[in-house]
Amino acid sequence: MDPGNGSDILPEELTASVESFFDTAPPLQDSSLISHKLQAFIDRNSKSSEGGGPVRVVCVTSGGTTVPLEQRCVRYIDNFSSGHRGAASTEYFFKAGYAVIFLHRRGSCQPYCRYLPEDSFLDFFELGEDSSIQVCQSHSTIVKKAIGDYQNAVERGQLLKLPFTTIFEYLQVLRMVAISMRPLGPYGMFYHAAAVSDFYVPWESMAKHKIQSSSGPLDMRLNQVPKMLSVLRKEWAPMAFCISFKLETDGNILLQKADMAMKKYHMHVVVANLLATYKREVIMVTDNGSINVCSQDEYSDVEEEMIKILVDRHSKYLEQYRIEIIGLS
Ligand code: PMT
């Protein structure tokens, strides 16, 4: 597996649109807190694991980004992503011994909460005769397991949750995460399951206040969001193992688009999925062929097999790095 990130530098046009995106984005509210949390997390996890080698760290992106239409935002463009893929994958990465930076949409699906009933939170509990709060008998096994697994990950210091809502927040936090993961070299991994907006309204050309319907039909021009995958591979974290996703609605173009993404953005794996079937089947496109992965039944997760394959690929990638380093010394 080629560890290269494509030696060519970023095209000038892309560099300009990336700079313009970050220069004009509204600044992150809590960037110093995020930076502090990231530094502590990477420091803790870059020390040796029980097995002797450094801990592998994966950044899982999850859920959809919004595109605000007004600075004092009343309306925004959103997408369908629930964050289930990212949450489920996070659980299987933990199982495989990875530390996870879970970069997720606020309010989207969370690891270990996927099995909890969708109904009201209040349905999990009941009042005892002495007014104490108890977990309902019918949900108790599921709730106890969720709490236990979640606490275990948090206590081991292997979970860092970073939320986003808008495309501006998402890309700014992603850049911070990627740059802070750079020292991990090939032990870092990116798993881009988030559904990232392709178009946005630049902050400076956005209406300040609520757009008035009395002004008639709305005519709005959206700029293209620069694809940050190339920047991540070439500049932010060039040695990390990188997986992106390709979502399409037309099965006839899916594999061709995934293949293109693989080459254009120098991804190690592209996971191709169709809107109609993405919950139960995906095609993992690699540099030596494609692998179809399907869930066995409605109770099993397609993510379980996907993560097994990715962990194995990541091991091979690390092995190749070691061989190259030995070769150089
Ligand atoms: O959350 P769920 O409901 O479980 O759904 C999971 C999923 C269907 C969202 C997930 O499996 C998936 O396919 N995620 C990627 C969706 C997507 O944005 O596809 P895309 O073809 O538009 O983008 C391809 C890749 O480029 C993505 O990995 C994205 O992170 C990246 N991208 C996209 C736009 C952009 N401006 N910059 C990017 O880097």
Q: What letter would DSSP give residue 234? A: I
Q: Is 233 in the pocket of ligand 1 (CB under 6 A)?
A: no
Q: What letter would DSSP give residue 210? A: P
Q: Is 90 in the pocket of ligand 1 (CB under 6 A)?
A: no
- What separation in Å is there between the alpha carbon of 194 and the centre of ligand 1? 5
Q: So what's the pLDDT on residue 118?
A: 67
Q: How far apart are CA 158 and CA 50, in angstroms?
A: 13
Q: So what's the pLDDT on residue 48?
A: 61
Q: So what's the pLDDT on residue 6?
A: 56
Q: So what's the pLDDT on residue 321?
A: 83
- 220-224 long-range contacts (CB < 8 A, ≥24 apart) are 220/69, 222/67, 223/199, 224/17, 224/198, 224/199
Query: Mean pLDDT of residues grouped by 10 in the chain (329 residues)?
Result: 61 89 95 97 80 84 98 96 97 95 96 75 83 85 86 91 98 98 96 98 94 91 94 96 98 97 96 97 96 92 98 96 69
Amino acid at 269: V
Q: Residue 151 to residues 56, 106, 299: CA-CA distances in angstroms?
A: 20, 20, 24
Q: How far apart are CA 148 and CA 153, in angstroms?
A: 9
Q: Which residue has the tokens 């690891």?
A: 111
How many residues in total does the chain contain?
A: 329
H-assigned helices in the chain? 12-24, 31-45, 84-95, 140-155, 167-181, 228-231, 251-265, 302-328
Q: So what's the pLDDT on residue 251?
A: 97
- What separation in Å is there between the alpha carbon of 135 and the centre of ligand 1? 37
CB atoms within 10 A of CB 317: 19
- What separation in Å is there between the alpha carbon of 36 and the centre of ligand 1? 28
- What separation in Å is there between the alpha carbon of 193 and the centre of ligand 1? 5
- Ligand 1 atom closest to the Cα of residue 167 is 36
8 Å CB contact between 111 and 91: yes
Q: Is 82 in the pocket of ligand 1 (CB under 6 A)?
A: yes
The protein residue whose alpha carbon is closest to atom 21 in ligand 1 is: 246
CB atoms within 10 A of CB 320: 14
At 320, is the secondary structure helix, strand, or coil?
helix
Q: Is 242 in the pocket of ligand 1 (CB under 6 A)?
A: no
At 44, is the secondary structure helix, strand, or coil?
helix
Q: Which H/E stretch holds residue 245?
A: strand 241-248
CB atoms within 10 A of CB 290: 13
